[in-house]
Homo-oligomer: A and B are copies of this chain.
Amino acid sequence: MERKFRYGMVGGGPGAFIGAVHRAALRLNDESELVCGCFSSSAERREEMALELGISKERNYATAEEMALAEAAREDKIDFAVIVTPNYLHYSGAKAFLEQGIDVVSDKPLTFTVEESRDLKRIAAEHGCLFGVTYTYTGHVMAREMRNLIRSGVLGDIRMVMGEYPQDFMLNQLEHSDETNIPWRSVPALSGRGGSVADIGTHVENFVNYVTGLEIDSLCCHLDNLWTGGELDNNVQTLVKFKGGATGIYWASQVAIGYGSALKIRVFGDKGALEFMQEESNYLRLTLRGKPPMILSRGSDYMTPEAKSYSRIPPGHPEGVVEAFANIYLDFCRALRDKAAGKTVVEETYGYPTIDMAIRGVEFYNKCIDSSQAGSTWVKLGSE
């Protein structure tokens, strides 16, 4: 058995849903072990979590900065840090580890501003650090298949993209205000200036970019806060123009009754079209011009070998979102291994979402807000 990678977690304290999913995904892969953490800003909750997870007292840290320094000084230091805090702590947390030369995986949206994300990119580069961003859905096996099919030219000339991500949990929350892992999303100081646009709108932007390579040139956005009150948007409607002339529509909502986590991405070319739905993540709908739609099933022999290699169980046996996270960690650990072996690591070739994608996401949601605040006018991206 190769040595397992050692990792530490920032955030993910008691009741924090997403931290638990990251840990589960990493256990699923069985390539990494959790050895330290700074799980909460509350000492009591940190204790509780460390006890539950079997983390020794000395490696149960109070801040990301303390953890980064202490770990960097150890012989058995962590190989990478996982940042799963509320958004406002991503920047400082990631920075602390990068400055100690420790590779980082962070949740999204990465930072409040594009400048901060670019700063992290710069620091990572200076210290030769890897940087993965857990845009979960790109880890689904059929997201990989979609990317491969598009890259192989199956769709022809891509000119139109429809992306949507409706959820309804914020409306249901109106009646169940005790859910512990949600409130920070409604607090600008913790979450940033974006609500649903940052939380899930960025998933749409990222998924489209991930599978098509398309980059947004300009956008026109209308943000709403419907029914729930609060300062942040919960409904996003955006027209998008991509570099090169393709166009798209992005819709994200956290108050759309009847939807759980219904990310749906449709990509249209002149030779074919592809559709991915997160709630049916084991399938992909492919239609070639003039032919009947086909329902591709995860793990089937007709898949591209690269994507099929991520499939863990036979067709028809569902994999879920934990496997999606796990696949991103498989990619990241492969890069870690190559880096350790002294190979040149070109991050975008490993499959996990990169710092450049993180920057795009942060720019996307900020420009959406800019556009909406300016009366839903067209706003250019990439221009400073």
- For A238-253 the 0/1 string (1 means CB < 8 A from B) is 0101000001110101
Partner of A257, one of B169, B237, B247, B288: B288
- For A293-311 the 0/1 string (1 means CB < 8 A from B) is 1111101111000000000
Verify if A313 is at the interface (C-beta below 8 Å from B).
yes
By a CB distance below 8 angstroms, the chain B residues around A23 are: 30
Partner of A322, one of B222, B281, B323: B323
The DSSP consensus for interface residues of chain A is: mixed
> When A256-B273, A257-B268, A260-B316 are in contact, do A295 and B293 touch as well, CB less than 8 Å?
yes
CB distance from A241 to the nearest CB of B (A): 7
Partner of A51, one of B1, B162, B269, B320: B1
By a CB distance below 8 angstroms, the chain B residues around A162 are: 164, 251
- In whole angstroms, what is the CA distance A324 to B20 when docked? 18
Whether A251 contacts B253 by the Cβ 8 Å rule is no
CB-nearest residue of chain B relative to A227?
Answer: B270
CB-nearest residue of chain B relative to A271?
Answer: B257
> When A291-B302, A295-B293, A322-B323 are in contact, do A257 and B269 touch as well, CB less than 8 Å?
yes
- In whole angstroms, what is the CA distance A259 to B289 when docked? 10
Verify if A278 is at the interface (C-beta below 8 Å from B).
yes
Whether A259 contacts B316 by the Cβ 8 Å rule is yes
Verify if A230 is at the interface (C-beta below 8 Å from B).
no
* B-binding segment of A100-108, A111-119, A126-134, A171-179: A171-179
Verify if A315 is at the interface (C-beta below 8 Å from B).
yes
CB distance from A157 to the nearest CB of B (A): 7
CB distance from A257 to the nearest CB of B (A): 4
- For A47-67 the 0/1 string (1 means CB < 8 A from B) is 000011110000000000000
- In whole angstroms, what is the CA distance A332 to B297 when docked? 32
Interface residues on A, range: 35 or more
By a CB distance below 8 angstroms, the chain B residues around A257 are: 268-269, 271-273, 287-289
Verify if A348 is at the interface (C-beta below 8 Å from B).
no
By a CB distance below 8 angstroms, the chain B residues around A172 are: 289-290, 301
CB distance from A242 to the nearest CB of B (A): 12
Verify if A235 is at the interface (C-beta below 8 Å from B).
yes
- In whole angstroms, what is the CA distance A271 to B257 when docked? 8
A157-B227, A295-B295 known; 5 other A-B pairs, CB under 8 Å? Answer: A159-B227, A220-B239, A249-B251, A257-B268, A261-B315
Provide a sorted-by-A list of 27 A–B residue pairs whose CB atoms are within 8 angstroms: A1-B53, A24-B312, A27-B28, A160-B224, A160-B256, A171-B289, A172-B290, A220-B239, A220-B376, A226-B270, A249-B249, A261-B316, A261-B317, A278-B316, A279-B282, A279-B316, A281-B318, A286-B292, A292-B295, A292-B302, A293-B294, A317-B320, A319-B320, A320-B320, A320-B323, A322-B322, A376-B378
